[in-house]
Amino acid sequence: MTRAEKRAASGLAAIFGLRMLGMFLILPVFALYAEHLPGGTSHTLVGLTLGMYGLTQALLMIPYGMASDRIGRKKVIIFGLILFAAGSFIAATASDIYWTIAGRAVQGAGAISAAITALLADLTREEHRTKAMAMIGSTIGLTFAVSLVAGPALNRLMGVPGIFALTGVLALAAIWVVKVWVPDPESSHFHADAQANPARLKDVLQNGQLLRLDFGIFALHAAQMAMFVVVPVALKNSGLAADHHWAVYLPVLLGSFVLIVPAIIYGETRGKMKPVFVGAVALMLLAQLGMALGIDRFWGIVGALFFYFVAFNLLEASLPSLISKLAPASAKGTAMGVYNTAQALGLFFGGAVGGWLAQHFGFHAVFMFSVGLMAIWLLASLSMTPPPAIKTRMFRVGTMPADRAALLKAQLAGVAGVVEVAVLAEEGVAMLKVSLQGWDETAARLLLEAVGA
């Protein structure tokens, strides 16, 4: 990657991480803070507050991406950051739970993830785009881990209103990053690998393999949000002061990372991602069952949390890769758009339903709800097609007539190791899915050079 590409990727990853901070930092502390807000003793409203961010994000994510094609990436991103900051300040100054819900809704309305992804595609060459996207993905995972530890510490220093205000200030600072640090693209155009195309939605929504994964990310984040309606309160009831909750989250997170790295390496290098993936879903089911049985005991909560984070981090890291491998090469961006929307809807559904169950049926019911989601996912994943041992390669070929693109597609399909080809004539890009073993990159490059000549 060039210096400009690294600068663009790092700046946009930082902005993406900031938005995740706005969602994650309050997870380990909000349920306890809400007890002191008018209306906050209702678990239903607490769950709705946590999940509302996901609802407005799901509704606006793809429209924002489409708007960025017409009026410019940076304009949409800056507008979204202003909304995010406004929502943060509304939540920070909220006098009751209802104003907090409104603030979270406005926060989520700053749904700029699709616009950020599109801008990243504008600013990176095809052969380096996967690396740049990986920087954003790793930032999200790191942000979640840091938030669970930092949330209780920040709560002690400034309280939940202070955390909301801090994320608002950081959102305004991110506008400077967009204006000054992130380069301006030479041109903005549609990228099939990074953006959702409404014309391809039908193909994606009729793909049973992708729908399994979309349900999976929905269920995974529904269970996550439902859990945080209950776990902070349960830890406090077990005798652990809120300021010390980080002492539970930190070791279980670190321990989970130690286990998931070899599991992912084994699955990817040995072509065993399906058994690793199905095993992680089964472990998540057991973790939720363990939480249902042990929610009244401190060590029961800690043990269930450890297995929960092992499964969660493994699944969170695996799902985007599986989407990329199973989606049609020319509809990868559309598949990711549906996936991200399902994730955001899961956040809302889990918060709303988890809060309602906690209010009316108790904490155990929240986790039995999650057990049900995981059982459905486990059954669906058992019939999943084993993901192929492939990777995606992209090459700039220049715009060309449709007949010439069709000829090039046929020629590339004959190269050793090529599994799937899409030549996007208007974008001037060839997208190839190739085998990890036996892929003749030299032959493909010679063919592409001949086309360019």
Task: Establish how many alpha carbons lie within 13 A of residue 379's alpha carbon, considering only the half-sphere containing its beta carbon.
Answer: 5
Task: Give pLDDT < 70 ranges for the chain.
Answer: 126-127, 187-188, 451-453
What is the pLDDT, as a whole number, of residue 429? Answer: 83
Could you tell me how many residues make up the chain? 453
343's tokens = 């994730």
- Pairing state between β 418-424 and 390-396: unpaired
Query: Distance (Å, rounded) from C-alpha 157 to C-alpha 10?
Result: 29
What is the pLDDT, as a whole number, of residue 49? Answer: 95
Q: Where in the chain is the domain with CATH 1.20.1250.20?
A: 1-191, 209-387
Give CA separation, 241 vs 245, 247, 299, in Å: 7, 10, 15
What is the pLDDT, as a whole number, of residue 187? Answer: 67
What is the pLDDT, as a whole number, of residue 56? Answer: 95
What is the pLDDT, as a whole number, of residue 127? Answer: 67
Give CA separation, 330 vs 7, 197, 205, in Å: 27, 10, 15
73's tokens = 């990436």
Q: Are 418 and 403 in contact (CB under 8 A)?
A: no
Q: How many CB atoms lie within 10 A of CB 116?
A: 26
The greatest distance separating any two alpha carbons of the chain, rounded to the nearest whole angstrom, comes to 73
Q: What is the CATH number of domain 390-452?
A: 3.30.70.100
Q: Output the CA angle 310-311-312, nearest 5 degrees.
A: 95
Q: Which fold has domain 1-191?
A: Growth Hormone; Chain: A; (1.20.1250)
- Pairing state between β 390-396 and 429-435: antiparallel
Residue with token string 């239903």: 44
3-state secondary structure of 42: coil
Q: What is the CATH number of domain 209-387?
A: 1.20.1250.20
Q: How many CB atoms lie within 10 A of CB 84?
A: 26
416's tokens = 């050793």
Q: Are 280 and 318 in contact (CB under 8 A)?
A: yes
Q: Where in the chain is the domain with CATH 3.30.70.100?
A: 390-452
What is the pLDDT, as a whole number, of residue 145? Answer: 83
| pTM, 2 dp | 0.90
What is the pLDDT, as a whole number, of residue 21? Answer: 79
Of 153, 163, 29, whose CA–CA distance to 94 is shortest? Answer: 163
Q: Are 218 and 351 in contact (CB under 8 A)?
A: no
Estimate to the nearest angstrom the gap between the alpha carbon of 123 and the chain centroid.
Answer: 21
What is the pLDDT, as a whole number, of residue 46? Answer: 95
H-state helical runs in 270-297:
273-294
What is the pLDDT, as a whole number, of residue 44? Answer: 95
3-state secondary structure of 247: helix
Q: How many CB atoms lie within 10 A of CB 153?
A: 14
Q: Are 76 and 67 in contact (CB under 8 A)?
A: yes
